[in-house]
Structure 1
Amino acid sequence: MIALHRAIFDAVVEAIRRPEFDASLPPLSDATWARLLANSALMERERLEFLGDALMYATIGTILYKQIPSGSPHLYTNVRGVLHSNAVFTKVAEKLDILAVPDVVLRALSKMDFGEGASAASNKSKPEVKATADLFETVLGAYYLEKGFGPLCEWVQGIYKPLIAVAERAFREW
């Protein structure tokens, strides 16, 4: 099973690295950034991270079900397991340049709880990968609260549709 996940992961990472894989972050309002940056917002950031993680799990599952109508639960479980991982969230976030938020935002977030060194370095430590994935999930949770589930799903589908296709191919070829 580990070899299968590795094959899917490698295919997905290769797809993310391609120049044609391009998108932008979901936009957050200044008011949302201000709430996230408040000194008292640690609990709220953690709650949004939890929410973003849960939303990605559900959204990826829904997209898989629709995009691969003949898929088996085994395929869905393996593909979702890779696509809903901190490693993939981090790779997507780096490609989307999630850290290209205004400098004041990045400095504040880095000092608060996402860790110094949360840069787009290719050899991140496990805590740095987790910190970047957490930031990605937090932004998605905040976007959901701002815009709703429909716009979040549309954004995720735009990003993940080609990754799902690559992951399905890797699963079937394995």
Structure 2
Amino acid sequence: MQKLPIFRDNALLQRALTHSSYINEYPAFGEDNERLEFLGDAILNFLSGEFLYKRYPQKPEGELTPLRSALVDESQLAKFAIALNLGPLMHLGRGAEINGGRENPNLLSSTFEAVIGAYFLDTGSNIEIVRNYVEPLFQAIADTLVDTAAQINFKSRFQAWALAKVGQNPKYAIIAQSGPDHAREFTAEVRVADQKYGEGKGHRKQDAEKSAAKQALETLGLL
């Protein structure tokens, strides 16, 4: 499991963990983490784009862009922050503390960005060290994001066609399942206005639905 990076300059780390609400109450503490957050955001956008470009050489720009957004959006960065246990380490003002700031996705994601910005400075602006730190985080979720994006893409594309041409949303149903519990296979079909357009199989229900939507698009000549 990934751990918080080791800092040579602990003051830099503490600044990364300091929310503006804390500085408002304790101005003598120093600077808040907003400038580090700005830097970390830029670094994460660059490294996530580079990571996806290298990992998925066959994907066009139109598929890589939403993947990059998902890899570094607020909810995902908050999950990284939780995995690193940043919540209890943050310096928050009383109001932010009372309002659940340590569990707030916005504050968690911002703090994670600030930590990455601070780590970049702490390493002497060595992007290679920062890359080696964040890439395992990206690798742990990349394929899941790709799978989710593919499901959304096939199903949303077929939904768009169904609404435009038929005026109704597709309806998915699991029509069969087979195999033992540890290797269950589901069969799904998709219908629009009671007409069947596709059928697909998968080891998860959502995979079967995705496969059905893909077959429907193929049948319609849209893939």
Separation in 2, partners of 1:155, 1:27: 11
C-alpha distance after superposition, 1:68-112 (max 9, x if no partner): 1111111111111111111111011112212353xxxx3xx2129
Report percent identity of matched pairs: 26
Amino acid at match of 2:102: S
Gaps in structure 1 of 5+ consecutive residues:
1-21, 121-127
2:59 is matched with 71
1:52 is matched with 40
Amino acid at match of 2:145: A
Offset, 1:171 = 2.3
Higher relative contact order (CA 8 A, sep 6+): 1
Gaps in structure 2 of 5+ consecutive residues:
19-27, 153-223
2:12 is matched with 32
Aligned pair count reads: 137
1:23 is matched with 2
1:150 is matched with 128
1:133 maps to 2:121? no
Separation in 2, partners of 1:137, 1:112: 22
Shift of the 162–112 alpha-carbon distance from structure 1 to 2, 3 Å rule, reads: same
1:6 is matched with none
Separation in 1, partners of 2:3, 2:14: 21
User: Which has the larger helix fraction?
Assistant: 1
Offset, 1:24 = 1.0
CA contact (8 A) 2:38 2:113 kept: yes
What TM-score do the two structures reach when normalised by structure 1? 0.70
2:73 is matched with 85
Higher Cα Rg, which structure: 2
